[in-house]
Every structure is written in C-alpha cells, then in structure tokens.
Amino acid sequence: MSARQIRHPRIAALRRELDEHNYRYYVLDNPVIPDAEYDRLFRELQDLERQFPEQITPDSPTQRVGAAPASALATVVHHQAMLSLDNAFSEQQVVAFDRRICEALEVDSVVYSAEPKLDGLAVNLMYQQGRLVCAATRGDGQRGEDITHNIRTIHSVPLRLRGTDWPQQLEVRGEVFMPKAGFAAFNRQAQAQDERVFANPRNAAAGSLRQLDPEITRQRPLDVFCYGVGAYGGAALPDSHSALLMQLRDWGLKICPERQQLANIEQCLAYYRDLLQRRDALAYEIDGVVYKVDRLAWQRHLGHVARAPRWALAHKFPAQEKLTTVRAIEVQVGRTGALTPVARLEPVDVGGVTVTNATLHNLDEIRRKDVRVGDTVTVRRAGDVIPEIVAVLSERRPADSRLFTMPDHCPVCGSEVRRIDDEAVFRCMGGLFCAAQRRQALSHFVSRRALDIEGVGAKLIEQLVAGDWVRSPADLYRLDLATLTGLERMGEKSATKVLAAIAASKPTTLARFLYALGIREVGETTAQTLANAFGTLEAIMHADEATLQALPDIGPKVAQQVRAFFAEAHNREVIEQLQAVGVQWPEHQTQTLEPTLKGQTFVLTGTLDTLSRDQAKARLQALGAKVSSSVSKKTDYVVVGANPGSKLTQAQSLGVQIIDEAQLLRLLG
C-alpha cells in the first residue's frame, strides 16, 4: 500500500468532530464552541483534504452546506440550492480572491456588491403569484425545515409582494435576526421570569424560528434583511445584483441599508474597515462583510464549487468569542459596596484585544453557568462591553477544578459581607469606611438633601480622595485652608467659602443625618420615620429588626439594612468621629410631634413665602404625611405657591383639594 493510500487518522477525527458541532448548532440550537473555533477546525480539514484529495468523501463536512433539518418540523426541498460562502480572514485572502475572479473573467477590475454579513439564520422565502406560500431554513442546502407558520409572524416579511411585475415563482434568500435592543429586552424579561436566556442574538433568532407554536415566535423581536434570490421563474432578471436588491425593495422586501456598490477590491477593503469600526454602533450583530460580483452574467459564468459560489466571499471580522481557561475567580468591590466576581483568564486575543478578565456578575450567575477555577470556557467581547463568559465546556473540566465561594469579609476594608433577603448581590457593610465606596459615600453625604455642603462637588471630592486627604465624611470637618488652596483650581477665596459651608453644616436634624449616612433602602421619608419614632440616634442604633418593622413603611428588607449598617463597627466609628468634630442635632424635638397627618398624601408646587420646599416637606413628614412628586387620584392635598407648574392643572382635572400656604401652616399647627 502506498503512502498516499494510507488513511489519515486526523481527517476522520475532524469529520466526526465537525459533524457533532453541526448537529448541536443546526439541530439542537445549542452550540458548545464559538464560531472561530469551528472555523479553525474546518480550515484544518480543508488543508488536509487538499493534501490527500483521494480521501475526500461525499459526506465530508467540506462537501455539503449544512446539516439535516430537525425532525420536529416538516421538510422543504429548495427549488435552487442554498449555498454557503467561502471565508476570508485577511486582506491578502480577499486580494487573492479578486485576482482569481479577474483572471477567470479576463478583465482588469470587477465591480462588487457588498453588504454586512448578518449573524442570524438564513431563510428561503417562496412566493408564487406574488403571495408567500412557504418559508424554510437553509438546512443542508437542498432541504430545509418548514418554518412558514413562524415567518408569517415577522412584520418585515410581506405576505404579498407590492406591484405586479414580479415573477410567477420567486425564491427570496434572506437572514432573520434579532436586533441588539430586542435581544437585551427579551433576555431581561426571560431572566425575571426564571426562563431560558439566549447566549447571543443568533441563537435567539434560530431558536425562535424553530418553535412549533407560532404564538411564541410572534412575541420575539425578529427582523429580516433579504440579500438575493434562488429560483426566478416567469420574468427576466436585472443585469446586476445591486439592481436586483433594489427590485426586491420595490416589491416590499426589506434589504440592508448598509449595502454598497463598489468599483474595485480596494473600495471593498475600505468598506470592510469602515464597518469594522462602526460594528458596535449598528442595531444588529454582524460578523463580517460579504462581497459579490455585481454583474449577474459574470456570476453565472463563474459558477460554483460543491458548497460555495466562486463569485462571492465572506470577509470575516476578528473573532469576538474564543476559548480560554479560568485561572482564578476574585471579587471586586463597587462604589455601592456590591461584590462582583471576576474571572482571571489565561490571556486570549478576542477581536484584536487581549482579554485577561471577564465579569461573572454574581454568585447566582456563577452557579447557573457552573463556572469553576480550571474550566475551559467561551469568552465573548463586544465593543467596549466588559468581556463575559458565555459557556463552559464541562467535558474538558479537569479533576482538580474548584468551586467558588463568596468571601465573608470585604477584601478592601475587612467589613462584613452580607446578602440581604433574596437579593442577587452580596454587599460590603462598611459603607462610610470602605475605600471602594468612599467617593459614593462622600458625594451622598454632602448632597443638598443630606448635609447640604455647598461647594463640595464631585471634582473636589475626587481630588480630596485621590490625595488621601479625606477617608471618611468626618475628615471633611478637619480640612484647613492650606490643604484646600493646594488643590487644583482652588484659590484662597473659594477655599474659605468651602470651609464656611462645611462648618455651617454641623447643626442639622436627626432625619437629615440618618439620610446622609447612606444606609441602603433608607431614603428621606424612611429617615424621617425613624427620627420621629425613636427621637435619638442611640435608640435607632440599638433597635432590633422586629421593632423596626413595627414602624409604618418599614419592611423586612429595610429593617435588615438598618441593622446591618449599625452592626458594622467601622460605621459606628465614623459616626462617633462625626459627633466628635461637632455634627449635632436636637434629638428631643422629634419626640413631641403627634402624627396628626398620618396616611395623607401631599404634593407641593410653586414657591412658598415662609417655608422652603424642603422645610415644608420635612414638617409634613414629621406629622406622618407622605409627600409625593406627582399628582394622582390618591393625592389628598396639592399645596400651591407662587408660579405653580402643571401639577395645579392635574389637580384641578382630578378634583384633588387645592390649598395655599396659609392653609398649609394651619394644618402644620
């Protein structure tokens, strides 16, 4: 037996592996490897078959277009085969394609039609006498799955063609896809309802079209772009592919707005670079560009090989999904104290960028995807979005892989980490102390409805934190003129004003102080409720959850957050420091007020003469009233000052009682 007759073992192995991936992709809608990995395996088989052409068999993946249709759907035979496209992954390969075309046609240059390569599901729409009679997937290129009942639910697919000059029989080729915005909204809704979420818009489109119940498909945000024709009976074709697309548009079929007619291959490459640059801004996912010889007579002359036309080429973008390994799983602490698990990855090039980290969102997501240290995973990168792990190849899991557990204490400040009720997020409880939360805590502390320190804005806080001058809110009261004047864009006059505003904020109210602490779930109304009920900060700090829940509008989650905040030693230390530098309030005053307006809702509009809006709101809340920002049928009073807004008109139309400032003052006693 000659060396050429020996069966190459890798060829058989590659065919088996590619057949398995074809089955998972086309039949099960459940791919386990990214497209880039599949393309690599396919190219390896092509190279080997070129070396050993006598070993090519009719059932090789290189000799057919796709896979067999799913058995749950009826089979449709295409009148004209739906071919795949050869791929190019470099500009040199595109130039070589153009050179072969020019040599075959014996011309110096060729005009091309170019359009984005959509990342969806190829479909064949059959029109007879101008009416949609059948729709099918590509399937194996000769036979596809009958999806007529689902295609009819897509509004961008006309059930009847416009005009009267269409052929008696027309096969329209197109790509069904799910736009990015629709995909994101669909997955959010599915996750909220504890239903299956899709890994990407392509899988979402494929899964939607293969539903047996068209009502399910109707609820999916699908769209379609048409890009060509198959059988075309009873009429003459236009001269060019570009003209054909315009003809399809005239008949009411949707075509891609990014299509272009290009004079030569240099313009094709410029078009590719432009689309690659704008890829993330498009409303739909694309994974490359398709070039087609524009003149249809030349297309017919060039013909096709077993699985692809000679006159077309798909120029693929750099892959945005790759395989890599999880080295470790660590946590990052955000500005609100949320702990986010992050996978540290074996470095891998994804779409031209070296990726070393990927977000894992939260512990529930890690458990759902079953990500472990040591796993081989598919990582995706899309534009500026943080890379994420989309799938785990569990069959490649090593024996020493490790499960991840959330830490009990914050890796930044050492404070306790808690998960409140059924929240997905674990949080650090050291809000006033934790360095990761410092900017957020300070910005809230100085805000108008908290301690209201004028002149201390985001830019100043950024400088104070960056220079390590302020580590907690108490450090604001220790600032001096020399420190402030040494900062960027801070003269002596401005620094003096800031110091005066800081000093003026020391006398406050218990409700404002509670709100300024930034306790999660504790807004102005809840802070006022706590101040009214307990009268002193000491009493609030020692109240148990049962006592807290006995108050109006305070449920289990709020009570847990309050208890967790005051149970953290670091937070109590900062509160003691604030009191030591002179922040104070008249604690006893809040105990003398009776909730005479309990259960009543007020809305304030316009400018009051004797009270500011904040003062009026605080007085009303102290008496048990709720102050709303909008008027509804449940509103009891709308308080009108000078120059009222649209809320007055709304109150009049709803019949809500309208009072002026004098009447408000009488209600306040």
Q: Hey, which residues are catalytic here?
A: 117
Instruction: Choose among 115, 357, 445: nearest CA to 255.
Output: 115
Question: What is the H or E stretch that residue 379 is in?
Answer: strand 376-380
Copy the structure tokens of residue 277: 């640059």
The two structure tokens encoding residue 532: 């009214």
As a whole number of angstroms, the distance between CA 48 and CA 604 comes to 78
3-state DSSP assignment of residue 629: coil
Contact 578, 474 (CB under 8 A): yes
Rounded-to-integer distance, Cα 315 and Cα 668, Å: 74
Rounded distance between C-alpha atoms, residue 547 and residue 527, angstroms: 15
Report which DSSP code applies to 23: I
Q: Phi and psi dihedrals of 137, rounded to 5? A: -75, 170
Beta bridge partners of 344: 328, 357
Q: Assign 30 to helix, strand or coil.
A: coil
Distance CA 352, CA 355 (A): 9
By the 8 A CB rule, do 513 and 503 touch?
no
The number of residues making up the chain comes to 669
Which neighbouring-strand residues pair with 160? 131
Calculate ∠ Cα 156-158-162, nearest 5°: 125
- C-alpha 337/C-alpha 345 separation (Å) is 24
- What value does the CA radius of gyration of the chain take, rounded to a whole number of Å? 34
Q: Give the integer Cα–Cα distance in Å for 159 and 220.
A: 18
Task: For residue 357, give the 3-state DSSP assignment.
Answer: strand
CA dihedral for 18, 20, 23, 26, sign (positive or negative): negative
Nearest Cα residue to 247 out of 228, 274, 271, 220 = 228
- For strands 376-380 and 626-628, give the pairing: unpaired
Tokens standing for 663? Answer: 């009447």
Residue among 30, 197, 203 nearest 121 (CA): 203
Joined tokens for residue 302:
């060039």
Structure tokens at 483: 């420190």
Tokens of 4: 């050429």
Residue with tokens 């003209």: 243
- Compute the distance between CA of residue 469 and CA of residue 472 in angstroms, rounded to an integer: 9
Tell me which H or E stretch contains 497: helix 492-504
Q: Taking Cα atoms as reference points, which of 15, 82, 10 lies closest to residue 42?
A: 15
